[in-house]
Amino acid sequence: MSKPSHQPSFEALLHEHRGIILKVAAVYARDREDRLDLAQEIRVQLWRSFGRYDASRSKPSTWMYRIALNVAISYRRRDGALLTGRVESLEERHLDSVGDAPGEREEDERLAALYAFIGELDALNRALILLYLEDRSYAEIAEVLGISETNVATKIGRIKQKLRGRAAALATTGA
């Protein structure tokens, strides 16, 4: 049985943008096994959609984010965990930024708090902040999520305000 002719280009695209799959799976799945399952499901859906991908209409990363986020949201609904996701500790996520040097522990704690905050957001806002933290433009975020740029800006502003409030509350309680 011969392989489809577009498989090499799909594999190259998948390799080039593999971080998208891993980041979406890390934000939407609860534990290592779930992340692996979700990442695999995202790859399957990307493959199924690849024949219809039109590079003249969107960048590969935009197309991949759109599919990955849709799969992740559906996965969470199917899993019965939408909006209730438990966020694991930084150590469990095996993030590369974890270090032992002086000052890094405090940064790690802030990063863990940020991931916990993101884990509490609803599906749309979680996707939005993931794209924002990836330094995607408002236009690209709007295209991926199917909302207006104005809506993107408004939602990001509200998320930032909520995060600032959370940080201030933590600072006053010493937690």
* Residues with Cβ within 8 Å of residue 136, at least 6 apart in sequence: 65, 144
For residue 1, the surrounding DSSP H or E stretch is none
Distances (CA, A) of 170 to 52, 105, 164, 175: 47, 17, 10, 5
Are 145 and 127 in contact by the 8 Å Cβ rule? The answer is yes
Euclidean distance between the first and the last CA atom of the chain, given in angstroms as a whole number: 60
pLDDT in tens, 103-158: 556 666 777 777 788 888 888 899 999 899 888 999 999 999 999 999 999 999 99
Instruction: Give residue 114's pLDDT.
Output: 79
**In 51-148, which ranges are continuous DSSP H helix?**
60-79, 90-93, 104-120, 123-133, 138-145
The H or E element spanning position 9 is helix 7-16
pLDDT of amino acid 104: 59
C-beta separation of 114 from 121 below 8 A = no
**Residue listed under structure tokens 């522990």:** 105
Domains and CATH numbers, the chain: 1-85 (1.10.1740.10), 99-175 (1.10.10.10)
- pTM to 2 decimal places: 0.64
- The answer on pLDDT for 95 being more than 60 is no
